[in-house]
Amino acid sequence: MKHSKAFCTIITNNYFSWALSLYDSLQKFDKDIILYVAVVDHTFQDHSDEISGKNIKILTLDDLGNIKFSEEIINKYKDQLNILRWALKPIVISKCLEFIEKVIFTDADIYFFNPYQFLFDYLDTHHILLTPHWSPMNPSKNKIEFETIFKNGIYNAGFIGAKREGRDVIEFWAESCYTFCGKNAEVGLHYDQTYLNLFPIYYDNVLVIKHKGCNVASWNIEICERKLDPINNEVKIIGEYPIIFIHFTNVTIDGILKNTDPLLKNHLLEFNNTMIKNGFRDIIKERLAYFERLIKEENETDWDKLIKRIKRVYYKIRY
């Protein structure tokens, strides 16, 4: 059965809770939305109980076999699951486009807070959707972040939208990831991501989404300033854009908990509660405990550090 639109994501089995939480955030704004979840582990794990009653469809590596460059990518990166996940993004998108007119890929650590139908509407007139990182672009004020634009790419590969007419772009991305999906700063390659820089130049009908409430994350805190609307108590980006979705990377989460991004605390709380409901551990509690360990280690005496090193050597030899 063909559908007009769907989301897709890629995970390993141990992160299925993330996919469930992504789905919950999507379903709030569209009860009929479908999420395709590609699980890239080489061993099958049954998730039928977890998706019972949900519009979640699971794709395995075997399901991707008929897509161009899929077998080559799987064989090349089969022992590197993280890289395999990144390199398979265009493959999963291509697979979904076989039976869906419009598909949006997001990383599983993305969570939606406001309606997103306008993103699919963009695909009425465009073939591909991209979101900029919105990293700081002042070389004298923030040299490190400025250089990151060129090292990691202009666009974030955690989100990309496509329709069937854009399959040639997605195929180019797949071939590029097969050729090289790694880190080579000297030639400006960063895994699957920097290839996106070429899309708006070499292909027509590629839309760069300028809505700054999309892909809110640690890397755009300066350009996408968070402001509290005093009228409705809603956090808006630069006082104008509602937050559509947040990319909850560890760095984004840490920034919120360390009060460098305090206005997103309620958003993190909702995300964390959904994750716990779906069987994942308490991320907030886990990260706070991690900070406490770091502080404790910083305050350790040289004698304490020496004892710990001796213990590590002992247990390594003993066990």
Q: Which domain holds residue 113?
A: 3-281
pLDDT in the model for residue 292: 85
Is residue 288 a part of any domain in this protein?
no
- 308 band by pLDDT with thresholds 50, 70 and 90: low
The answer as to whether 77 is a domain residue is: yes
- Determine the average pLDDT of the residues in 250-273: 97
**Which residues touch 46 (CB under 8 Å, ≥6 apart)?**
none
Of 158, 49, 93, 112, nearest to 267 by C-alpha is 112
Label residue 300 by pLDDT band (50, 70, 90): low
Is 35 inside a domain boundary? yes
Tell me, yes or no, whether 150 lies in a domain.
Answer: yes
**pTM assigned to the model:** 0.92
| pLDDT digit string, tens, across residues 272-293 | 999 999 999 999 999 999 888 8
Domain assignment of residue 308, yes or no: no
Q: What is the pLDDT of residue 291?
A: 85
290 falls within a domain: no
- Residue 295 above 90 pLDDT? no
pLDDT in tens, 117-132: 999 999 999 999 999 9
Domain assignment present for 307: no
Give the rounded percent of residues in the chain with a pLDDT score beyond 90.
83
pLDDT digits 0-9 by tens, 210-240: 999 999 999 999 999 999 998 899 999 999 9
Statement: residue 314 has pLDDT above 50: no
Query: What CATH number is attached to the domain comprising 28?
Result: 3.90.550.10
The count of domains in the chain is 1
Q: Is residue 292 part of a domain?
A: no
Span 80-95, average pLDDT: 97
